[in-house]
Amino acid sequence: MRVVDIIIKKKQGGILTKEEIHFIIDGYVKGIIPDYQVSALLMAICFNGLNNEEQTNLTMEMLNSGEKIDLSTIDGICVDKHSTGGVGDKTTLVVAPVVAACGLKIAKMSGRGLGHTGGTLDKLESIPGFTISVEPEKFFKQVREIGIAVVGQTANITPADKKLYALRDVTGTVESVGLIASSIMSKKLASGAHSILLDVKVGDGAFMKNINDARILAKAMVSIGEACGRKTVAMLTDMDQPLGEAVGNSLEVIEAIETLKGRGTPDFQKLCHEISAEMLLMTGTANDKEEAMQLVEEKIQNGEALEKFRQMISYQHGNPEVINNYDLFGKANKVIEVRSDKDGYVDKIKTLQVGNVAMLLGAGRATKDEKIDPVVGLEIKVKVGSKVSKNDLLAKIYSNGKNEEEAIRKLKDAFIVSDEFVEEQNIILDIITKA
């Protein structure tokens, strides 16, 4: 078997066999096959795509290239949730405690933010003392005892994906549905959950800009999950405006806590309820949507979901008093208000730009080694469709002085106010339960 023959086959639109995919991935991980040949194959895949069988075989090869998390020692149903990333997306901080309070087990490995998308680990680390580094035995013990743990990746999971992603990033081959789906699903399968809920963001602040492309990606991931024996559901959700109000690490944790107290903003609260309910349905914890939504609401109203979050903070060495005293997070030096120049309706919020403004302030990182300021960020006080008058508050900037003038200018430019009436946007765009 020769690499060049496999490249030519895919370049001509051929279907790669399981053996050919194994040959490529195994050889690349071992350093036998060079970057330039794999780059050529990746480009051929970008042009000609992968069918369902190729996607599944590629996923399995990446999965088998490293360690896998064995959750069999944990009683009950282990579930996982993955978001494709967005602006103000602190959903895991609410959904994980809610479903844990409903009896499911969340043994979740999350990631850090890069660029305009925030990372769950960065948000959690804004809690004083909180550690995302948990030894495997303590991780399993925590999930067994309280049903929830959200940690950083410690095992050598999917090293083939790490190598391939780094190469894709510098060769212009990121944007391939088959490669994206295989990358995401190899990591999710390696994490060991029985059931996987995928939150696929759609819109200006998301990787997938339109619903048709997002639906293709969602179906590809659901197909891989089904082929690998995991119950997998994908929800397509709106990212044409920031989610909730807060964008920035400690600000987003505070908004999540408020939501667990039953005081969330309508769009964020709705999304958290819908995702939690879907996870209860897909695991058979609830019989129908009405029962699932009632159970979610009950666990928030009786305080059990908030208690799960408190327990997780305590187990991971954070200060649980932040739940009652937000001053413990620390505060930015300055709060700057951005107001509307005119009467009208909010027609558009440039979500990608909002995320980049937060990054300018220090709430995100342009490179993986950049340090994050946990207290800076934004509060977006309007939604698409909101009616505003001149001088109404659009947003607040929480600043410690970094790139302040540029941030003010770009945030003001992110709001488009129209004279015409604008419909409010739906947060849930579609639910994909089978490929």
CATH code where residue 214 lies: 3.40.1030.10
Same domain as 30, residue 107: no
The answer as to whether 68 is a domain residue is: no
Structural domains counted in the chain: 3
Find the catalytic residue in 126, 183, 195, 276.
183
Q: Catalytic residue at 288?
A: no
Find the catalytic residue in 168, 188, 219, 383.
168
The answer as to whether 37 is a domain residue is: yes
Q: Which domain holds residue 379?
A: 331-418
Q: Catalytic residue at 110?
A: no
Read off the CATH number of the domain in which 411 is found: 3.90.1170.30
Find the catalytic residue in 122, 161, 199, 373.
161
> pTM of whole model > 0.75?
yes
Find the catalytic residue in 112, 187, 201, 396.
187
Same domain as 344, residue 389: yes
Same domain as 307, residue 349: no
Q: Catalytic residue at 183?
A: yes
State how far the Cα of 323 lies from the Cα of 300, in Å rounded to an integer.
14
Same domain as 336, residue 380: yes
The answer as to whether 397 is a domain residue is: yes
Find the catalytic residue in 10, 82, 123, 230.
82
Same domain as 119, residue 172: yes
Same domain as 349, residue 281: no
Q: Catalytic residue at 72?
A: no
Q: Catalytic residue at 365?
A: no
From first to last of its 435 residues, the chain has per-residue pLDDT tens of 999 999 999 999 999 999 999 999 999 999 999 999 999 999 999 999 999 999 999 999 999 999 999 999 899 999 999 998 899 999 999 999 999 999 999 999 887 766 667 789 999 999 999 999 999 899 999 999 999 999 987 668 899 998 998 899 889 898 899 999 999 999 999 999 999 999 999 999 998 999 999 999 999 999 999 999 999 999 999 999 999 999 999 999 999 999 999 999 999 999 999 999 999 999 999 999 999 999 999 999 999 999 999 999 999 999 999 999 999 999 999 999 999 999 999 999 999 999 999 999 999 877 767 889 999 999 999 999 999 999 999 999 999 999 999 999 999 999 999 999 999 999 999 999 986
Q: What distances in angstroms separate CA 360 from CA 125, 184, 251, 376, one per listed residue?
A: 20, 28, 16, 10
Same domain as 276, residue 226: yes
Same domain as 344, residue 314: no
Same domain as 161, residue 284: yes
State how far the Cα of 221 lies from the Cα of 435, in Å rounded to an integer.
8
